[in-house]
Amino acid sequence: MQWYVFQSKFQKESLVCEQLRIRNVDTFFPRLYVQPVNPRARRMKPYFPGYVFGRLDLEQISRSIIDWIPGVIGIVSFGGEPVSVPDHLITTLQQHLNAINAAKRELSERFQLGDSVAIQGGPFAGYEAIFNSRLPGRNRVEVLLKLLQGPQIRVELPIHQIALKDSSFVKRAS
């Protein structure tokens, strides 16, 4: 049993996974968590659009069966020979994607309306602000920043440039 890369037709990766599972083939469809602009859009996007990994024994499954799986264009090959992917590479990729997705979910769920945040990067680094909203699509947020004695202004920042203010800092400051 070896891992191989299946090329799928446009946006048919899930269909290919389903069809491979029906044929008792282990699958791996790498996806990343995203915050879409449209709330009805998918929250998981393919890491390798148009490709799915399948673990099988090519000696036991006829190439003609694979070529006729709905949604499959073919197995990635070089010189006409299917190329296998080492197990450790699949394991590493799974761990990497799990870590990225967990961090993105945690970041996007960490802040609530009205939270005090510290800006840690960019031109406003060192300032404090109030978390206002998540901006869909690009992992950006809107904060309310007060400069000098003027009114609060809305500022868009990448989400990784802000952090919740340390509660011990808030107690010392008040």
Mean per-residue pLDDT of the chain: 83
Numbered ranges of CATH 2.30.30.30 in the chain: 116-173
| Three-state SS at 31 | strand
What are 84-137's pLDDT values in tens digits?
Answer: 999 999 999 999 998 888 877 666 667 778 888 888 888 888 888 888 887 766
pLDDT of 171 reads: 36
Is the overall model pTM greater than 0.85, yes or no?
no
> What confidence category does residue 172 fall into, taking pLDDT thresholds of 50, 70 and 90?
very low
Q: What kind of architecture, by CATH, is found in domain 116-173?
A: Roll (2.30)
What are 14-23's pLDDT values in tens digits?
Answer: 999 999 999 8
- Dig out the tokens for 123 from the structure: 């031109």
Answer CATH for 2-109 from 3.20.20.70, 3.90.25.10, 2.60.40.730, 3.30.70.940: 3.30.70.940
Burial of 69 (0-12, 13-18, 19+ CB in 10 A): buried
Cα 159 to Cα 131: distance, rounded to the nearest angstrom: 10
What are 58-68's pLDDT values in tens digits?
Answer: 888 877 788 78
Burial of 6 (0-12, 13-18, 19+ CB in 10 A): buried
Numbered ranges of CATH 3.30.70.940 in the chain: 2-109
